[in-house]
């Protein structure tokens, strides 16, 4: 089953895959979290609609994809075990699966420059302002953190939720009780 970028709001036309919870070859249950999506309006976890095995990941973490683009493919559990059962030699099946995994992960890099996906962009806008996800802006305001003083660990140096939470934790650890 193809997993597509969902439309997370009426005006949302694209989103950034911020985290994959599964790798190619991993089993997944229906309704188990598969990946996180960040948009300019919302950050959310997206569950798997079916049980099976992740057979392809077409869009890497940190890449922006338009709504409706295929992000991953999940093979239903029965289809995967049936395909492997047809192989006479188990090591050949494992080698073939490994090659498929390598191809599935490296193939999107060549397509990333295509019209349907683009890198998330640098952490600075053209006007010099920091490019921040809504959750990062919220945490900065809530805890009085200047995002310009935070080193981003995300793609292209973007500041992530985890970066902000690390600053909050380090402040809490350093504060006298």
Residue-wise pLDDT for 124-155, tens only, equals 555 556 778 888 888 888 889 888 888 888 77
Strands 63-66 and 117-119: antiparallel
Q: Kindly report the CATH number that applies to the domain delimited by 2-118.
A: 2.40.50.100
- Ranges of each domain in the chain: 2-118, 121-174
Q: Which strands make up the sheet holding 33-38, listed edge to edge?
A: 43-47, 33-38, 14-20, 63-66, 117-119
Helix H or strand E segment including 65: strand 63-66
Compute, in degrees rounded to 10, the torsion defined by CA atoms 31, 35, 36, 41: -70
CA–CA dist 56, 167 (Å, integer): 35
Low-confidence ranges of the chain (pLDDT < 50): 80-122
Helix H or strand E segment including 101: helix 90-111
Q: Nearest 5 degrees, angle CA 100-CA 104-CA 109?
A: 145
CATH level 3 topology of 121-174: Dihydrolipoamide Transferase (4.10.320)
0.85 exceeded by the pTM? no
């Amino acid at each position: 089953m193809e997993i597509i970028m969902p439309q997370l709001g009426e005006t949302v036309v694209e989103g950034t895959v911020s985290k994959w919870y599964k790798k190619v070859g991993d089993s997944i249950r229906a309704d188990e979290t598969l990946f996180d999506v960040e948009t300019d309006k919302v950050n959310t976890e997206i569950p798997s609609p079916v049980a099976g095995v992740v057979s392809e990941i077409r869009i890497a973490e940190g890449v922006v994809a338009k709504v409706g683009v295929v992000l991953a493919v999940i093979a239903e559990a029965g289809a995967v075990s049936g395909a492997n059962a047809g192989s006479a030699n188990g090591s050949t099946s494992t080698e073939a699966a490994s090659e498929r995994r390598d191809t599935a992960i490296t193939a999107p890099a060549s397509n990333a420059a295509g019209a349907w996906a683009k890198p998330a962009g640098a952490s600075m806008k053209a006007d010099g302002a920091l490019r921040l996800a809504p959750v990062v802006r919220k945490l900065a305001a809530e805890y009085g953190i200047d995002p310009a003083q935070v080193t981003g660990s995300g793609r292209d140096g973007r500041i992530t939720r985890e970066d902000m939470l690390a600053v909050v934790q380090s402040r809490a650890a350093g504060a006298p009780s």
